[in-house]
Amino acid sequence: MAGQRVFSGVQPTGKIHLGNYLGAISPWVAAQVEHEAIFCIADLHALTIPEAVRATYLRAKVRETAAVLLACGIDPARAILFVQSRVGAHAELAWLLSCVTPVGWLERMIQFKTRSAALESVGTGLLAYPVLQAADILLYRADLVPVGEDQRQHIELTRNVARRFHARFGEVFTLPEAMLRPSGARIMGLDDPSAKMSKSLGETRKGHAIGLVDPPDVIRHAITHAVTDSGREVRREQASPGVTNLLTIYELLSGRSREAVQAAFVGKGYTVLKRAVADLVVTTLEPIRQRYLDLSAQPEALDAIVVESSERARLLAAPTLDRVKQLMGLHERSRVPFPLSDSKEG
């Protein structure tokens, strides 16, 4: 699988949590070693969240997100880590793709249905959100998109939009595949294991999420108070969502198999399990938090990394956008040489 291109993104909103880390960021860090990797801080997507649109908020969040990703191990010498709004081709391709995307496809998106249900007035951007995401991925002709379970439907939509474009105008895109972890693609909230751990709930509900840069005492408190079930100890044949979630976190952070983890805890009380999970989470996250604190003290260096990466992203995106415009009849012919499928570098 060497030589494939990996693309993914994260919104610079809310509090980046352990679910983001296990479902997405840690697979990204692994992917950058084997593959050409491009990661996007999706600030244009964040504009669909009304609370995110406050003066200076997004800019600060973009920097904070960059610091967290770098602290987790994204390496700018290996991967491109760029800011979506700095690469104009994203908004431009999103418009072009919206002209081939049926509204019905967008209305069927689970994330749209959930988010719009809670709103009195639904913005066009919220509906068109997956078209922008499709543009993000298709611009770079990415092969693989490492994401959590909640994004699977958006990647499927991306493939459908690309197919429809191809049928109408001709081939240009690569059909991307979602890359999901067999376990860990959906980490649940500690305070409510029936709900996905989420950035927004992490901001409003104490004990819901483990923030990647939360101090150790906050992490320990959240795990100690995690909801389990009415039992007292880990059983062989049990699958209560709260206990399963803790075992999954332990499995992924320890790198041990599920069977080994299960065997290690069967017959042990929930207190023992929680203490072990808390120790492992703190040991994993503490170095990340320290690196994050160091990086946060160097805002100019952070800005320089994303500005330089965004420049590289712009160069990679330009030929695809140009080719799309040509196929749609907006350009006479391509001004930028379009890379052949066997050479993405052009």
User: Which residues of this chain interact with ligand TRP, rule CB under 6 A?
Assistant: 7-11, 40, 42, 45, 133, 136-137, 145, 147, 151
Beta strands, E only, the chain: 5-10, 36-41, 79-83, 144-146, 177-179
Binding partner at 133 among ligand AMP, ligand TRP, none, C-beta below 5 to 8 Å by kind: ligand TRP
> Applying CB under 6 A, does 256 fall inside the site for ligand AMP?
no
Binding partner at 40 among ligand AMP, ligand TRP, none, C-beta below 5 to 8 Å by kind: ligand TRP
Applying CB under 6 A, among 5, 15, 24, 40 the residue interacting with ligand AMP is 24
Applying CB under 6 A, among 6, 23, 159, 322 the residue interacting with ligand AMP is 23
Shortest Cβ 318–ligand TRP spacing (Å): 18
> Applying CB under 6 A, does 319 fall inside the site for ligand AMP?
no
Burial 265-291 (b: 16+ CB within 10 A, else e): beeeebeebbebbbebbbebbeebbeb
Q: In what order do the strands lie in the sheet with 5-10?
A: 79-83, 36-41, 5-10, 144-146, 177-179
Is the separation of the CB atoms in 22 and 181 below 8 Å? yes
Interaxial angle between packed helices 124-139 and 152-169, expressed in degrees from 0 to 180 and rounded to the nearest 10: 70
CA distance linking residue 165 with residue 100, whole number of Å: 7
Q: In the structure, how many helices (H) and strands (E) does the chain have?
A: 15, 5
Scanning 163-171, 179-187, 248-256, 261-269 for contacts with ligand AMP by CB under 6 A, the matching segment is 179-187
CA distance linking residue 101 with residue 133, whole number of Å: 13
Scanning 15-23, 121-129, 230-238, 277-285 for contacts with ligand AMP by CB under 6 A, the matching segment is 15-23
> Applying CB under 6 A, does 161 fall inside the site for ligand AMP?
no
Please name the amino acid found at residue 121: S
Residue showing the smallest CB distance to ligand AMP in the complex: 23
> Applying CB under 6 A, does 186 fall inside the site for ligand AMP?
yes
Which of 38/261 has CB closer to ligand TRP?
38
Backbone φ, ψ for residue 37 (5° rounding): -125, 140
Binding partner at 137 among ligand AMP, ligand TRP, none, C-beta below 5 to 8 Å by kind: ligand TRP
Binding partner at 23 among ligand TRP, ligand AMP, none, C-beta below 5 to 8 Å by kind: ligand AMP
> Applying CB under 6 A, does 197 fall inside the site for ligand AMP?
yes
Nearest to 46 by CA among 13, 19, 68: 13
Between vectors from CA 116 to CA 115 and to CA 118, what angle results, nearest 5°?
75
Scanning 31-39, 191-199, 260-268, 320-328 for contacts with ligand AMP by CB under 6 A, the matching segment is 191-199
Instruction: Count CB neighbours of 33 within 10 A.
Output: 11
Backbone φ, ψ for residue 30 (5° rounding): -70, -40
Shortest Cβ 163–ligand AMP spacing (Å): 23
CA distance linking residue 187 with residue 245, whole number of Å: 7
Length of the chain: 346
Scanning 85-93, 192-200, 213-221, 282-290 for contacts with ligand AMP by CB under 6 A, the matching segment is 192-200
Scanning 20-28, 123-131, 274-282, 317-325 for contacts with ligand AMP by CB under 6 A, the matching segment is 20-28
Between vectors from CA 35 to CA 28 and to CA 137, what angle results, nearest 5°?
70
CA distance linking residue 50 with residue 122, whole number of Å: 10
Which of 91/304 has CB closer to ligand TRP?
91
Which of 227/328 has CB closer to ligand AMP?
227
> Applying CB under 6 A, does 196 fall inside the site for ligand AMP?
yes
Which of 82/292 has CB closer to ligand TRP?
82
> Applying CB under 6 A, does 134 fall inside the site for ligand AMP?
no
Residue numbers of the site for ligand AMP (CB under 6 A)? 10-11, 19-20, 22-24, 147-148, 150-151, 185-187, 196-197, 199
